[in-house]
Amino acid sequence: MEKKVFQCHKISEGVAEGEAVVSKDDIMFYLIDPKTGTVIEPGHDLEGKSIAKKILIFPSGKGSSVVQADGIYQLNTKGNAPKAMIIQHPETVLVSSAIIMEVPMVDKVDPAFYDVVKDGDIIRVDADHSVVEILSE
């Protein structure tokens, strides 16, 4: 399979490669266990799944700015933050957290990307060159 390359917009610089975890629900980072990176929010479509060291693809964040920033910070301190984040609707606190913690973050990805990406795909996020690649399915 030839790799699929999609244009995007850089929010936080960097390059990361890893396994995709795709959420259709907004994410409250405070409801992710920092020790494991596992989503503990009841009823969330990622409940019971880990986002640790994955490429996290999600619509947006939810909850207050304090719990969002603290949630990402706690994950980062335990080494369980996502390797990169692909977000559809960025918000200030997530953007600033990604920049401070040096987690590559992009948005405005070509809509075709969302039609083909799925859990387990190996994704390369190159925020510096504004591209997202699906390396394997």
Active-site hit among 12, 23, 60, 64: 64
- DSSP letters, 98-128, are HHHTT--EEE---THHHHH--TT-EEEEEGG
64 is catalytic: yes
Sign of CA dihedral 49, 51, 57, 59: positive
Sign of CA dihedral 50, 56, 59, 64: positive
What is the distance of C-alpha 88 from the center of its chain? 10
d(CA 17, CA 13): 14
What does the radius of gyration of the chain's CA atoms come to, in whole angstroms?
Answer: 13
Give the residue numbers marked as catalytic. Answer: 64
